């Protein structure tokens, strides 16, 4: 059910008279939605679910190496957020980025190839799971350092503001990130300089195995923008329509008012922190609650109840998704490994002195 709460920011925001959701708002009514749109949200959520399941499987088969964090359980949050952005808006995320990369428009093929560390991957195979990056779709990364994306996203919003553009930056992070220095620095500057950015905290209630209550003096994270006069909203991250509406509202306000906003999406990751974490800190009750509120299954049931999804349509979507994921895995499997000689090609925009790390056949770039 949709459940939004709001914390006042204050600051210099100009009111647009835009639609503002409050805790009393009802869940978005399906009858006012286009059935094709709802089915497309469902398809996207299912695609991320199956893609991530396949990723986990490929990891255990040693097709994927390094760190690997899945969006399982967070599909409604991912799809709702991505639906709220325009194609020319920018996105920065943490390392839990596969679903966002697909949602922002990258092909599952090139995302999977990146996971496999192959040359057809979005980052030419050199980035891996945590570093999906693509200027074309304006997903400017995937970052492995907790909070590393915040100053960069704030800088991108400053660039937009400086050039007088009307794009918005969305900066996704986890709940644990709200306790790191970059959070305070970035929100402070974003508010002080009136930057068009929406900070999104995906609150899955655990930073690795540490709960929000144990790590945050203010566990209602949407209120934590108030120190910087940034208005915050909390939304049920397991409801794709509620996330879409809350995010679209804040994105459009950031755009028209040139102000930062904060969105907290309460969510739940269905697996451990990364694929190698057995999540033993989870109780059986918590796992059962998660299964009972699975965002994909809940939305499926809601569409069925509304008569929008029937068995035939469900089968059709499931098969199309299955084929797309299988195709992505085949593509990744058949993509060549990158040449070692290209290791430094994408690190700097221009050639830099390379004598100390030059491979035998490389040209020399002098100091
Ligand atoms: C600066 C820094 N400190 C510690 C780590 C190790 N680390 C990786 S993920 C993580 C937890 C972050 O949790 P949260 O922000 O809630 O994101 P989630 O994994 O839930 O998406 C930690 C401590 C790191 N990557 N970077």
CB-based contact 86:103 (threshold 8 Å)? no
Residue 271: C-alpha distances to residues 62, 290, 308 (Å): 19, 10, 30
Is the minimum distance from the CB of 272 to ligand 1 under 6 angstroms?
no
pLDDT at 20 (0 to 100): 40
pLDDT at 341 (0 to 100): 81
The alpha carbon torsion through 339, 343, 346, 352 (nearest 10 deg) reads -130
- Residue numbers in the chain where pLDDT is lower than 50: 1-2, 10-25
- Strand pairing partners for 234? 5, 264
Centre of ligand 1 from the C-alpha of residue 27, in Å? 32
CA-derived radius of gyration, the chain: 21
Residue 260: C-alpha distances to residues 69, 163, 244, 246, 286 (Å): 28, 17, 18, 14, 34
pLDDT at 11 (0 to 100): 43
pLDDT, one tens digit per residue, over 4-35 is: 788 876 444 333 333 344 344 455 579 899 99
What one-character DSSP code corresponds to residue 134?
Answer: B
- For ligand 1, what atom is nearest to the CA of residue 208? 11
Within 10 angstroms of residue 32's Cβ, the number of other Cβ atoms is 6
Q: Which domains does the chain have, with CATH numbers?
A: 37-337 (3.40.50.970)
Q: Whose CA is nearest to atom 4 of ligand 1?
A: 146
For 140, how many CA atoms within 13 A lie in the half-sphere containing its CB?
A: 21
Centre of ligand 1 from the C-alpha of residue 206, in Å? 10
- For ligand 1, mutation pick of 146, 201, 274 (most atoms within 8 Å of CB): 146
Q: Whose CA is nearest to atom 2 of ligand 1?
A: 146
pLDDT at 53 (0 to 100): 98
- For ligand 1, what atom is nearest to the CA of residue 269? 20
Q: How far apart are CA 222 and CA 201, in angstroms?
A: 8
Could you list the beta-strand ranges (E) of the chain: 5-7, 90-94, 139-143, 169-174, 197-203, 206-207, 210-211, 232-236, 261-266
pLDDT at 231 (0 to 100): 98
pLDDT, one tens digit per residue, over 261-306 is: 999 999 999 999 999 999 999 889 988 998 999 999 999 999 999 9
Q: How far apart are CA 249 and CA 20, in angstroms?
A: 7
């Amino acid at each position: 059910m949709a459940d939004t709460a709001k914390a006042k920011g204050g600051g210099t925001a100009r009111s647009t008279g835009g639609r503002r959701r409050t805790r009393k708002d009802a869940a978005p009514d399906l009858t006012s939605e286009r059935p094709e749109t709802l089915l497309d949200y469902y398809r996207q959520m299912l695609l991320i679910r199956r893609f991530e399941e396949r990723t986990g499987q490929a990891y255990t088969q040693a097709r994927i190496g390094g760190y690997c964090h899945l969006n399982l359980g967070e599909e409604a949050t991912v799809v709702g957020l991505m639906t709220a952005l325009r194609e020319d808006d920018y996105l920065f995320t943490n390392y839990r980025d596969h679903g966002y990369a697909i949602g922002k428009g990258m092909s599952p093929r090139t995302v999977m190839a990146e996971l496999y560390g192959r040359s057809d991957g979005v980052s030419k195979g050199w980035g891996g799971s945590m570093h999906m990056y693509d200027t074309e779709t304006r997903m400017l990364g995937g970052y492995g350092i907790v909070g590393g994306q915040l100053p960069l996203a704030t800088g991108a919003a400053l660039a937009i503001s400086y050039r007088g553009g009307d794009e918005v930056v969305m900066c996704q992070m986890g709940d644990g990130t709200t306790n790191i220095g970059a959070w305070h620095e970035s929100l402070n500057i974003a508010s002080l300089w009136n930057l068009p950015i929406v900070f999104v905290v995906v609150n899955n209630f655990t930073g690795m195995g540490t709960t929000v209550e144990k790590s945050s003096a203010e566990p209602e994270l949407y209120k934590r923008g108030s120190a910087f006069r940034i208005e915050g909203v909390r939304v049920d991250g397991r409801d794709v329509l509620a996330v879409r509406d809350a995010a679209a509202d804040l994105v459009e306000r950031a755009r028209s008012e040139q102000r930062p906003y904060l969105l907290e999406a309460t969510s739940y990751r269905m697996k451990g922190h990364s694929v190698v974490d057995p999540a033993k800190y989870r109780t059986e009750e918590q796992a059962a609650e998660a299964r009972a509120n699975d965002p994909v299954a809940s939305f499926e049931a809601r569409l069925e109840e509304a008569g929008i999804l029937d068995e035939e349509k469900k089968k059709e979507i499931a098969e199309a998704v299955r084929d797309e994921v299988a195709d992505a895995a085949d593509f990744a499997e058949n993509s060549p490994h990158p040449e070692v000689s290209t290791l430094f090609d994408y690190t700097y925009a221009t050639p830099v002195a390379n004598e100390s790390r030059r491979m035998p056949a490389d040209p020399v770039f002098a100091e």
